[in-house]
Each structure stands twice: as C-alpha cells, then as structure tokens.
Amino acid sequence: MQAIRLKNLRSFLDTGVVPLNKINVFVGQNSSGKSTFLRTFPLLRQSVLRDTRGPILWYDDTLVDFGSYEEAKSRHANDKDGIHFGFRISLDPQRGRYYYYDTISLRNESIADIDIEIFEHNKKNYIGKIRILIEDHEILIEANNIGQVKSFQVNGSNMLFTEGTHNLIKYDTVGLIPQMLILTKTEKRINREYYLQKCREIIKSIIGKRLKNEYRITRMITDLTFDKKENILNSLKHESSILTWVKKIKNWNLETAEFIQLNNLIVAHYTSSILGVIDNKLKTYFDGCQYIAPIRAKAIRYYRRQDLSVSEIDAYGDNLHMFLDNLNKKQMESYQNFVKDVFDFIPSTESSKGHITINIEDQNGEKFNITDLGFGYSQILPIITKLWYTFSDNERPRNPWEPREKNITLLIEQPELHLHPAMQAQLADAFILATEHAKSNDVNLKLIIETHSSVIINRIGRRVIEKKLDSSAVSVTLFQLDAELKNSTIKSTNFNENGVLVNWPIGFFEPNN
C-alpha cells in the first residue's frame, strides 16, 4: 500500500492522496479526523476478513465501530454521492495466477490506483462504482444495487455489448472487490471468452485469410504481458508466429483506430483478472494491519489460564497474558532483549495453579506484579509486544504466490497515554528500532501513530539529527478542520536533515489564547 484516499467519510469530504511512509505520525486537535483516518485501516480489515452481506462491515466489537453507512457518511456530502475508498498499490509481477476468467501476466512494479464508491439501498451497502488506473489504462465500472453492470468503459470507450449481461459478484466469501462475470443472454451461462472472441474476430479480419491453426491468435493475446499501450503495441508487432499479421500492422501507432479497438478489448478481457489480483492484494494487506486501541486493558493481579493458542494480541490487549504465556523460551528471550534495548525494565510471566501473573523486573533485578506498579505499564506493554511480534522470527504461514517479504502495518492510537515524558521518548526509540529489525527480517513494516505527544515527535526529530533515522522514512501529517467546521483537511510534512519539521505551524501545541 503506497497511499490511501477517502471521500465523504465522516469529517472528510476529500482527503486527497495521502502517501504512507515507514513511520507516519498523525497529529491534530481533537475531532480533526485523525482517528477516523487511522481507524479506516481496521475497518477495512474487519470488512475483508469476514463473510459479510455488503462490502463494508461498519461495526465489529473486536476492532472498530463506525455505526452504519448513514452514520459514517459525511453529513456535508452530496446526497447522490457515496463513500469512496481509494488505494494506490504496487502489484507484483504474476504469471499463471488463475482467477475466474483467465491467467494474467503483469510487468514488474505495476502501480494501480483504485477507487471504489459505496452506496446504500434499503439499508444494504453495495459497490456502485469501481475506477482503476493501471499503467496508462482507465477502467470504469458502474453497477446498480443488485450488481448489474450499467456502464463498463475502458479508456473512455463503451465496452458493453448486446450479446451478454455483465454482473458484479462477490465470488469469494471474503474480500472487498467483486468479480465481473458475463452471462450470455440466450443460454444464461458464464462466457469466459467474451472479449477474447472479439479480439480474434478483429485479428482475423486484418489478416484477411483463413488460418489453419486459429489457436495461434488466442496465444498471441493470452501470452501478452499486461503493460502500457506502447508496450502492448510493440508486443503485437513482434508476434513472429503469424507473419501476415506482422506485415499488416507494421505501420500501426497509438492513434491507429484498429489498435485502439483491439487494445481496449484486450484490457476488457483481463478486467476480471485485474479485479481478482487487486482484491487479493487488498486482502493480504489488510490482513497484515494490526490495530492497538487508545484505551488498553487494565492489568489484574491474576489472570485465569486457558489452554488456548494465541497468535495475535487483540486491539485492547485483553489477551496479552495468554500471548506471553504461549511464547517458547527462545521467543521470550528475543522479546525481553528487544525491551531491554530501549526500556529500563524486563517483562515476564509466571504460571501457577491455573493462573498467570505478569511481572516487571526493574534495573536492580527485583520483580513486581504489574498491578503493583504504575498504570502506564499496563498501557505500554501491548504496544511493545506488538512491535516485537511484527518482526520476530515466529513461523508465519506464507501464500506461495506472495513474495518473501511480509507486509505489516501497525496502527497505534495515543500510545503516550499514562506515560511519563521520559518513557514516551523511549517508546519513540522503540518505534524506530522495530522498523530496523523488521527490515533485517524481510518484513515491510509501516507504523501509523496517532498522538498528541510533542515528546514523541521531538524524539524522532532528534534521532534524525543524530543520523539514527533517515528523514525520508518519516511523515508527519497534520489534521485540521476548515474554517466552517465542515471538512477535515490534511497536510503532510517531514523532517529536514537537521531534524526540523518543514513548514510546521508555529504554536501548534498551544491553545489559541
């Protein structure tokens, strides 16, 4: 995920494209939109990983609560407009991945901009519009509340024909982006070669003679790497298996009417596969989004032990004791070493008579039950533990189609709560250290931190000055309501090489008076 954009969601009419960095710090006054933007990530996680009737699951008591579509939509948005979720993602080169229509081969580092617009009809959400910009192609799909496609355009050309009906169907039980299936009007069966057949007809008409083996035409299309128009044209021109074809199109250019028509049909043929690739990418990304809520669980003296395997700490840290108790000796040593590298204490657990206690060992080697110490320890431990787990050498199931690098985005609301400024500064160091460990462990870790702490921001700036953190790895995003209090605006800034925030508003942390 390279960037995200929201429209008509709560206080946002349009955030614009917001790039995501390694470390992203969100700051702003109360009710300026910070939490809404950050909580969009767990909102989409709970939506893509659950079997839902609509595309968005607005409420999940284990993650976040946006109420309903009606409550989530900006009250200042146009009635006819829906809620937009926009993503800029990099797509991995792929060949042989099967989706409901066909295989697709993408070139290296393809970038796609996707915008989906959610509407509501009779209290049911549905995707009414999908817009995709990939390479130099634009795909636009509009559908009604029952999934019937009413408009399908590729590069501005109408691609709906009379021989079939197009439908958006959520073919997988989980995910965000539906598939587009085409049914023949007569037999009402799925036609996987709808646009491929039209490509064949154009190519045969250009060749002007009967081919003994028409399979060569099919292979010419299906062997193409999905690419920019110019590269598709060059691939067509260098198709050596049909010499007559090469001679006939040698003078084609990007403005040639036959090429424009053929190119758009090729894109239309692969549209369902592109939707599948994008949906798989979004599912994988949001599955890797881990959220820490602003109010973490209160520590208790004795936790009841259960024979459960816990692989992830929940958003509120309620199962922290079980997670730590599940760590083996090697994992616990790695975890404790990470904590010791930054903080002045070491956490541990003890099990006895069906109960678990969480202990804190101080610099003198004395152990204390966590309830006998300040409230801040119970609030910081879920954060520290999640930070460690993002890069630890635990076994993670990997999709064989995915690259070795694991993508994790850790979202943290108000990590500074109940912490002394000195510990807030140490926590900022833990953020930086986690990104370093993640890089060396093939984990692409992004941190999104919503905070009111000037200490955390200043500590990050200090580490930039000391050359312990590259200034290009940090973004600080300012959230502000406009003068009419109708729309939250977003402005991103960064540290320069001297650790100073560029164009930082004077008195940002001061009251107006």
Look up the CATH architecture of domain 289-450.
3-Layer(aba) Sandwich (3.40)
Cβ–Cβ under 8 Å, residues 360 and 346: yes
Phi and psi angles of residue 454, each rounded to the nearest 5 degrees, phi first: -70, -25
Say how far apart CA 176 and CA 174 lie, in whole Å: 7
3-state SS track over 411-447: EEECCCCCCCHHHHHHHHHHHHHHHHHHHHCCEEEEE
- Core vs surface per residue 422-440: b (16+ CB within 10 A) or e: ebbbbbbbbbbbbbebbee
3-state secondary structure of 59: strand
HSE value, Cβ hemisphere, 13 Å, CA-based, for 65: 3
Strand, helix or coil for residue 247: helix
| Predicted TM-score (pTM) of this structure | 0.91
pLDDT tens, per residue, the chain with 513 residues: 999 999 999 999 999 999 999 999 999 998 899 999 999 999 999 999 888 888 999 999 889 999 999 999 999 999 999 999 999 999 876 644 444 445 677 776 789 999 999 999 998 999 999 999 999 999 999 999 999 999 999 999 999 877 778 888 876 667 899 888 888 776 667 777 888 888 888 888 888 766 666 777 888 887 888 889 999 999 888 876 778 888 889 999 999 999 999 999 999 988 988 998 899 899 999 999 999 999 888 889 998 887 766 778 999 999 999 999 989 999 999 999 999 999 999 999 998 888 999 999 998 999 999 999 989 999 999 999 999 999 986 445 555 555 567 899 999 999 999 999 999 999 999 999 999 999 999 899 999 999 999 999 999 999 999 999 999 999 999 999 888 878 899 999 999 988 889 988 766 777 766
What value does the CA radius of gyration of the chain take, rounded to a whole number of Å?
A: 27
Q: Quick one: pLDDT at residue 96?
A: 42
Instruction: Report the C-alpha gap between 58 and 241 in whole angstroms.
Output: 53
421-440 and 454-465 helices cross at what angle (nearest 10)? 50
Is residue 473 within 8 Å of 21, Cβ to Cβ?
Answer: yes
Specify whether the backbone of 317 is left (phi greater than 0), alpha (psi in -120 to 50) or beta: left
CA distances from 348 to 310, 358, 401, 420, 470 (A): 17, 6, 38, 22, 33
Q: Are 236 and 225 in contact (CB under 8 A)?
A: no
**Distance between CA atoms of residues 478 and 172, nearest Å:** 38
Kindly list the distances between the CA atom of residue 229 and the CA atoms of 2, 111, 133, 363, 425, in Å, as whole numbers in the listed order. 24, 15, 13, 64, 51
For the chain, which residues make up each domain, given as ranges? Answer: 1-44+451-513, 195-267, 289-450
Q: Single out the residue of 157, 118, 119, 127 nearest to residue 139, CA to CA.
A: 157
For residues 468 and 149, give the distance between their C-alpha atoms in angstroms, rounded to a whole number: 53
What is the spatial distance between Cα 89 and Cα 61, in angstroms, rounded to a whole number?
29
Residue 459 buriedness (CB in 10 A; 0-12 / 13-18 / 19+): buried
Q: Which of 209, 208, 204, 214 is closest to 262 using CA atoms?
A: 204
The reported pLDDT for the residue numbered 404 is 62
